[in-house]
Amino acid sequence: MTMDKQLVWVRDPNEGFILARLHELMGEEADVFPIDNKYPKRVCSFEDIFPAGDPVKDVDDNCELMFLNEATLLNNILTRYKKSKIYTYVANILLAVNPYEDIPDMYSSNTIKKYQGKSLGELPPHVFAIADKAFRDMKSLKMSQSIIVSGESGAGKTESTKYILKYLCDLWAKGAGPVEQKILDANPILEAFGNAKTTRNNNSSRFGKFMEVHFNNKYQVVGGHISHYLLEKSRICTQSAEERNYHVFYLLCAGAPQDLRTTLKLTKPDEYLYLKNGCTQYFTSPASDKKINANSMSKQHQAKGGLRDPILDDVEDFERLNQALSRVGLTADEKLAVYKVVAAVLHLGNVEFEEDSGARGGCGVAPKSEPALQAAASLLGIDPAALRLSLVSRLMQSSRGGAKGTAIMVPLKTYEANNARDALAKAVYSRLFDYIVHRINTSIPFQASAYYIGVLDIAGFEYFQMNSFEQFCINYCNEKLQQFFNERILKNEQELYKREGLNVPEIRFVDNQDCIDLIESKNHGIFHLLDEESKLPKPEFGHFTHSVHKQLGVNNNRLQLPRSSRLKAHRTLRDDEGFLLRHFAGAVCYNTGTNFVRCIKPNSRMVGRTSEGGLVLTQLQCSGTTAVLELMEHGYPSRAPFHDLHSMYKAYLPPKLQALSPKLFCEAMVHSLGLSDKDYKFGVTRVFFRPGKYSEFDTMMKSD
Ligand code: ATP
Ligand code: MG
């Protein structure tokens, strides 16, 4: 059948969607002609074709699109991004596309002032609007609030978090006082110790954090607190090609004054094994390279090797860190102690071992590594002989007939000693990180707090070529977050609709309880099996994954063999190479007590003004944003109790109307404003509005 050439979006593996005209329908498929003739005409399944609406017009809230589907969502986001409008809403969820360049006036004090006290939707979407909403909700609901900032690496979570904190501190503290300054000072310190250059982000946070800003009952800032999670420890000892270790190592080797470096016995970064993995060469760069802009980003990205980052000035950054540590109250001696621990980790990494025939099959410290061992011991303030012994042997308590026998030292093989050294380095550094966070927390003045606004900045689901325990923990944490959404928000939302008699069709969502049980169940979850494995005299990776499959794999569609094992031609499928866990990637909640900022990375090259549609679409799908948009077709994301609306708007109406009961008052208002009955519903206790309609209502009320 020949069509009237309707404009449609058709799925494309690279662009996400491309614009085309519908040419002919053929059973379950259609013949389409792309508008841009660089794409060939094609046959598409109906599933991959969506009505386009007006592809040029962009809207602040994606729910206002004429057609709500993943293609129009993607198009709206990309159309706006090209105009430097990086923010949009899906109802109350903020989508933030990383611009990779400074947008003039975007975060200025003037902009902060403009957003004060404004309802969502009154002004263009902005991360400040979410911060302000959290503040207003805290005040009106008398309840602490949280803002969950999510997105993949490099999507802009940490930057968004900083803007939220800046907004809360700047505006509501009426100028940065001691508490606010300390909260803002925490970032350069946390980033020096917990951020690193990766292939996906030059300043990637390798830990999660929850930053709380506390308020008294007059809603003034009175304190702050930082919790941190899951510092990536493997990075302390090894990094992938073209990635770096934590910034602080380079700041000390290359940025600290010479006398401090002498005290720490530090030489050049390329002399430390813990800094050389993934890097080839150290070179110094002119300070003029420093400005972070789109050009230097791409230049930096092209630079092979990670030891030296042309856009970073180690001298200046060391000075900034040193001053920030002083401001959070570390004395000169305490700062030196911190630097000594960092340097000790580097020296420890240079301790190598070799077989020692005199050590009963064990190993000893290689003679060339003696200076490193001595340096590590002296910086840590421990006896070098004790350090040596603990690296090349382990203590074993023999037991006879159940009674504890004598303790004996068992010599370690070279590879075991290497593991012992790395484990020690990781433990020392991660405890140093705990200490740093603790010191920041104790430095923030704290008075009795009534409420807080907490901002969560944590890595999203991670999938690498090689996924270790660290990715497992991050993904587990994301499953829990997803469960939180499902439980507290999606389920509650539907229950509320039912209670209020709204008659909204039931919204299906993927329940991930089974995945969580698989991980955490007390007697047979993956954590339990791991715990058991670690108690064995010789724990083994292959044995562990074998037990996972054996005990949990039967009839479990969440658990599979890894692809390499499944492809084995000779059919002896192996279960000792790992396991594949099917994590959640479906619908999320949309209403928002908790507030959501969903960050989006526009391209993988880390440059401004460039977008890769396919990459953006995948992020929208995996974050559940496209599913949320579908849910919006039926949902009522804004709602307000009758009595709240009555007290908020009665001043705008004549006394006769003011005297009505809250419910009648609300009915009178929506009728007098001529709102279509598709835009709202009356529940038992409150009015519910379709996406974007509450702000329309609010504007009409105030302007009438
Ligand atoms: P990770 O998970 O790796 O920590 P992330 O999501 O925290 O990544 P950010 O470090 O916040 O990502 O952002 C990466 C870079 O993108 C920043 O260093 C900055 O250069 C740029 N960027 C992010 N957000 C903005 C913004 N709003 N304006 C300008 N540049 C930005
Ligand atoms: Mg980050």
Place of tokens 């494995």: 533
User: What's the rounded Cα separation, in Å, for the pair 326 and 185?
Assistant: 10
On the question of pLDDT at 507 being above 70, the answer is no
Q: Is the Cβ atom of 158 under 6 angstroms away from ligand 1?
A: yes
Q: Is the Cβ atom of 599 under 6 angstroms away from ligand 1?
A: yes
- What's the pLDDT at 490? 64
Q: Is the Cβ atom of 461 under 6 angstroms away from ligand 1?
A: no
Q: Is the Cβ atom of 460 under 6 angstroms away from ligand 1?
A: no
Q: How confident is the model at residue 62 (pLDDT cuts 50, 70, 90)?
A: confident
C-alpha of residue 213 to centroid of ligand 1, in Å: 21
User: What's the rounded Cα separation, in Å, for the pair 95 and 702?
Assistant: 28
Q: Is the Cβ atom of 296 under 6 angstroms away from ligand 1?
A: no
- What's the pLDDT at 21? 95
- What's the pLDDT at 119? 83
Q: Report the 10 Å Cβ neighbour count for 466.
A: 7
Spatial neighbors of 239 by CB under 8 A, at least 6 apart, are: 196, 245, 277, 278, 279, 306
Q: Which DSSP letter does residue 466 get?
A: S
Any idea which of 262-266, 366-370, 486-490 has the lowest mean pLDDT? 486-490
Query: Would you call 262 exposed, middle or buried from its count of C-beta atoms within 10 A (0-12, 13-18, 19+)?
Result: exposed
β-sheet bridge partners, residue 453: 145, 213
On the question of pLDDT at 414 being above 60, the answer is yes
Average pLDDT over residues 238-245: 90
pLDDT tens, residue by residue, 189-237: 999 999 999 999 999 999 999 999 999 999 988 899 999 988 999 999 9
Give the global pTM: 0.84
C-alpha of residue 462 to centroid of ligand 2, in Å: 14
**Contact criterion met (CB below 8 Å) for 515 and 584:** yes
Spatial neighbors of 575 by CB under 8 A, at least 6 apart, are: 545, 546, 548, 549, 550, 553, 561, 565
- What's the pLDDT at 583? 52
Average pLDDT over residues 21-49: 94
Which of 203, 204, 299, 478 most suits a substitution to test ligand 1, by most atoms within 8 Å of the C-beta? 203
Q: Is the Cβ atom of 205 under 6 angstroms away from ligand 1?
A: yes
Q: Are strands 451-457 and 208-215 parallel, antiparallel or unpaired?
A: antiparallel
Looking at ligand 1, which residue's alpha carbon is closest to its atom 13? 156
C-alpha of residue 36 to centroid of ligand 1, in Å: 33
**Is residue 417 helix, strand or coil?**
helix
Q: Are strands 451-457 and 145-150 parallel, antiparallel or unpaired?
A: parallel
Q: How confident is the model at residue 631 (pLDDT cuts 50, 70, 90)?
A: low
| Atom of ligand 1 at shortest range from CA of 292 | 20
On the question of pLDDT at 75 being above 60, the answer is yes
pLDDT tens, residue by residue, 80-108: 999 999 999 987 889 999 999 999 999 99
C-alpha of residue 538 to centroid of ligand 1, in Å: 43
Q: Is the Cβ atom of 153 under 6 angstroms away from ligand 1?
A: yes
Looking at ligand 1, which residue's alpha carbon is closest to its atom 9? 156
Ligand nearest to the CA of 292: 1
Which of 101, 158, 606, 607 most suits a substitution to test ligand 1, by most atoms within 8 Å of the C-beta? 158
DSSP H helices in 488-525: 492-499, 513-520
On the question of pLDDT at 130 being above 90, the answer is yes
Spatial neighbors of 677 by CB under 8 A, at least 6 apart, are: none
Q: What is the dihedral of CA 653, 659, 661, 665, to 10 degrees?
A: -20
pLDDT tens, residue by residue, 516-546: 889 888 888 998 999 888 888 888 888 888 8
- What's the pLDDT at 651? 87
- For all residues of the chain together, what is the average pLDDT? 85
Predicted complex ipTM: 1.00
Q: Is the Cβ atom of 459 under 6 angstroms away from ligand 1?
A: yes
Q: Is the Cβ atom of 75 under 6 angstroms away from ligand 1?
A: no
Q: Is the Cβ atom of 155 under 6 angstroms away from ligand 1?
A: yes
C-alpha of residue 683 to centroid of ligand 1, in Å: 42
- What's the pLDDT at 614? 96
- What's the pLDDT at 345? 98
- What's the pLDDT at 293? 32
**Is residue 325 helix, strand or coil?**
helix
Q: What is the dihedral of CA 165, 169, 170, 173, to 10 degrees?
A: 160
Sheet with 145-150, strands from edge to edge, namely 87-90, 93-97, 594-600, 145-150, 451-457, 208-215, 221-229
Q: CA 47 → CA 176, 220, 510, 629, distances in Å?
A: 53, 52, 21, 17
- Taking a 5 Å cut-off on Cβ, the residues next to ion ligand 2 are 157-158, 205
Annotate 359-387 with three-state secondary structure: CCCCEEECHHHHHHHHHHHHHHCCCHHHH
Q: Please work out, in degrees rounded to the nearest 5, the angle formed at the alpha carbon of residue 600 by the alpha carbons of 492 and 203.
A: 120
Q: Please work out, in degrees rounded to the nearest 5, the angle formed at the alpha carbon of residue 321 by the alpha carbons of 319 and 327.
A: 105
**Contact criterion met (CB below 8 Å) for 75 and 59:** no
Q: Is the Cβ atom of 293 under 6 angstroms away from ligand 1?
A: no
Q: How confident is the model at residue 139 (pLDDT cuts 50, 70, 90)?
A: very high
Looking at ligand 1, which residue's alpha carbon is closest to its atom 20? 100
Q: Is the Cβ atom of 98 under 6 angstroms away from ligand 1?
A: yes
Ligand nearest to the CA of 159: 1
| Atom of ligand 1 at shortest range from CA of 162 | 11
Instruction: Give percent above pLDDT 90 in the chain.
Output: 51
C-alpha of residue 308 to centroid of ligand 1, in Å: 20
C-alpha of residue 348 to centroid of ligand 2, in Å: 28
On the question of pLDDT at 2 being above 60, the answer is no
C-alpha of residue 101 to centroid of ligand 1, in Å: 10
Q: Is the Cβ atom of 300 under 6 angstroms away from ligand 1?
A: no
- What's the pLDDT at 92? 80
